[in-house]
Amino acid sequence: MSYEDRLKQLGFKLPPAPKPVATYVPAVRAGELLFLSGVLPMQNGQLAFTGKLGRELTVEQGMEAARIAILNALAIAKQELGTLDRIARVVKVVGHVASAEGFTDQPQVLNGASDLLVEIFGEAGRHARVAIGAAELPRRAAVEIEVILAIA
Amino acid sequence: MSYEDRLKQLGFKLPPAPKPVATYVPAVRAGELLFLSGVLPMQNGQLAFTGKLGRELTVEQGMEAARIAILNALAIAKQELGTLDRIARVVKVVGHVASAEGFTDQPQVLNGASDLLVEIFGEAGRHARVAIGAAELPRRAAVEIEVILAIA
Amino acid sequence: MSYEDRLKQLGFKLPPAPKPVATYVPAVRAGELLFLSGVLPMQNGQLAFTGKLGRELTVEQGMEAARIAILNALAIAKQELGTLDRIARVVKVVGHVASAEGFTDQPQVLNGASDLLVEIFGEAGRHARVAIGAAELPRRAAVEIEVILAIA
C-alpha cells in the first residue's frame, strides 16, 4: 500500500502546505536529504493549539498538536516531491515543545508525531529524535517540529 | 555579480570569522554540506546586542542582531571556502531568539537574517528555517543562529 | 591507537546504549551521515544529573553531565557501527543546557563534551557546535546533546 493510501486509511488528510510568510521556503533539498522548515500545528489555516504544556495545555493536547504539526510537515513533503511515496526514510525529528516551568514530558508529547510517522511509513518512519522544552514559540504555538527526510 | 560584490554593494562588510574559544571548530564539511557552529551577533569583537527580546530589546534590534549574526556565519563560510561564491545554496537556518516570557515574534526577528541572505544570494539564499524562543543564550546574546550550507 | 583503546586509556567505559522508550530509534544513517537521537546524561540506567544550571547545578556538574551524555552518544554509535573506529568525523554537536534565568555559561558546560570528543578522536573529534539554554528538558535532565557523525 502506498504511504498516501495508508494515510487515508488511517483517516488523516493532509492540510495545505504551510506558506512561509517571509523570505524562507518550506523545504530545501541537498543531495538525498530534504530539510524542512519548522512546522506548527496549523489546521484550517489557524493554529490548533496555542499556549504552554504544563500550564494551558495537557499532554494529550500536546500530542494532538504534535500530530497536526507532522501532517503539516508531510504536506510540505508532498508539495516538494509530488508524492509521499518518494520518501525513503524519516531521518530526524526535532520537537520543540512550549514548556511552562517544570514541564518535562516533552517525549510523551512528541510521541504524537513519532507514532503517526511509524503508522504511516512503517520501518521507514522510525527516526532519530530530539525532544526539547522551548521557552517560547512563534505565535504561541504549542509545538514546533523540524524534520529531515531522505528521498528515494 | 559575485556574492562578495553583492555584499559590498549592499554596504556590508564581513567581520573577522569568530574564533571558537574551546575545542570545537567554526565549521565542518561533510560531503556537499558545510555545518557551521552557532553564530552570535559579534561586531568589532563584542556582542552587539545582549538581553532578551520582549524585555531589553525591540523587534527591530533583534532583526539587526540576526543580520549581524548572519554576517558572522558568512565570515566563517568565507574562511572555510576562500570565497562566498562557492556557496551553492543556503540549506537551513535555525534561529534561537533569547525570549522573555510571552515574546512570540521570533519569525520577525529572524527575517533580519533571512532577508539579508536572499539579498546577497538571490534564489540560492532561500533556506528552510526554524524559529525558536530560547530561555537563555551564551553570554546573554540576543540571538544565536545555526546555518547549514551546500557547497558547489 | 584505535578510538576504543583511546577511550579505555582515558579511563572511560561506554554505558549501554540508551533504548528509546517510544517509536523512534537511537540513530538513522543517511549516506555518510549518522544522525543520533538526543542523549541525556544516563549512568547505570539513571539520569546522573537533573535540575537546571544556575540553580541546582554548578558549571562543573554540568560539564560532567555533558561528558556522560556524550558517552551515551558514543554508545549509540558503537551499537550502530560495531566499532567507534568507523567514525570518520564528529560533524556537529548541539548542546541544550537546562538553564535557570540568567545562566549564560552554556559553552563552558558543553566543553565537557567537546573536550572529551577531541581527547578520544583527535582532529576527527573537532566538531561544529551550537550551545543553547533550554527552558526545560525531558525528565529534568541537566543537558541533552544532539550529535551528527560522518561515517568512514
**A1 has a pLDDT exceeding 90:** no
Question: What's the ipTM?
Answer: 0.96
Record the cell numbers describing residue B1, joined without a space.
Answer: 555579480
pTM of the model: 0.97
Cβ atoms of residues A114 and A69 within 8 Å = no
Q: Which residues make beta-bridge pairs with B46?
A: B43
What is the share, in percent, of chain B residues with pLDDT greater than 90?
A: 96
**Which positions in chain C touch A104 (Cβ < 8 Å)?**
136-140
Say which of B24, B28, B136 has its CB closest to residue C89. B28
Interface contact C111-B23, CB threshold 8 A? yes
C-alpha B15, offset from chain centre: 12
3-state helix, strand, coil in chain C (%, to 5): 35, 30, 30
Find the mean pLDDT for residues B87-95.
Answer: 98
Find the mean pLDDT for residues A45-62.
Answer: 97
What is the share, in percent, of chain A residues with pLDDT greater than 70?
A: 100
Q: Determine the residue of chain A that is closest to C98 in CA distance.
A: A133
C-alpha A95, offset from chain centre: 8
Find the mean pLDDT for residues A114-141.
Answer: 97
Amino acid at C16: P
Find the mean pLDDT for residues C23-35.
Answer: 96
Say which of B28, B136, B146 has its CB closest to residue C127. B28
Q: How far is C144 from chain A (nearest CA, A)?
A: 8
- How far apart (Å, rounded) are the C-alpha atoms in residues A145 and B132? 10
The reported pLDDT for the residue numbered A20 is: 86
The reported pLDDT for the residue numbered C21 is: 79
For C45, other C-beta atoms within 10 Å of its C-beta total 8
Chains within contact range of chain A (3+ C-beta pairs < 8 Å)? B, C
Contacts of B96 (CB under 8 A, 6+ apart): B38, B132, B133, B134, B137, B143, B144, B145, B146, C132
Residue B61 to residues A71, B18, B44, B65, B109: CA-CA distances in angstroms? Answer: 34, 21, 17, 6, 8
**Which positions in chain A touch B30 (Cβ < 8 Å)?**
none
If you count residue pairs, one on B and one on C, with CB atoms under 8 Å apart, how many are there? 90
Write the pLDDT tens digit of every residue in B64-73: 999 999 999 9
Write the pLDDT tens digit of every residue in A78-119: 999 999 999 999 999 999 999 999 999 999 999 999 999 999
Find the mean pLDDT for residues A68-85.
Answer: 97
Please state, rounded to an integer, the average pLDDT across all residues of chain A. 96
Say which of B26, B31, B135 has its CB closest to residue C134. B135
The reported pLDDT for the residue numbered B20 is: 86
Cβ atoms of residues C63 and C55 within 8 Å = no
Write the pLDDT tens digit of every residue in A12-38: 999 999 988 788 999 999 999 999 999
Residue with cell 529534568: C140
Interface contact B129-A36, CB threshold 8 A? no
Please state, rounded to an integer, the average pLDDT across all residues of chain B. 96
Find the mean pLDDT for residues B30-43.
Answer: 98
Interface contact B30-C89, CB threshold 8 A? yes
The reported pLDDT for the residue numbered C87 is: 98
**B129 has a pLDDT exceeding 90:** yes
Shortest CA distance to C92 belongs to which of C31, C148, C27, C37?
Answer: C148
The reported pLDDT for the residue numbered B21 is: 79
Shortest CA distance to C46 belongs to which of C24, C67, C73, C72?
Answer: C72
Record the cell numbers describing residue A117, joined without a space.
Answer: 510517522
Write the pLDDT tens digit of every residue in C68-95: 999 999 999 999 999 999 999 999 999 9
3-state SS assignment for residue C6: helix
Please state, rounded to an integer, the average pLDDT across all residues of chain C. 96
Position A70 confidence tier, pLDDT thresholds 50, 70, 90:
very high
**Which positions in chain B touch C111 (Cβ < 8 Å)?**
22-23
Find the mean pLDDT for residues C27-45.
Answer: 97
DSSP structure class, residue A72 = H
Contacts of C72 (CB under 8 A, 6+ apart): C15, C17, C18, C39, C40, C41, C42
**C99 has a pLDDT exceeding 90:** yes
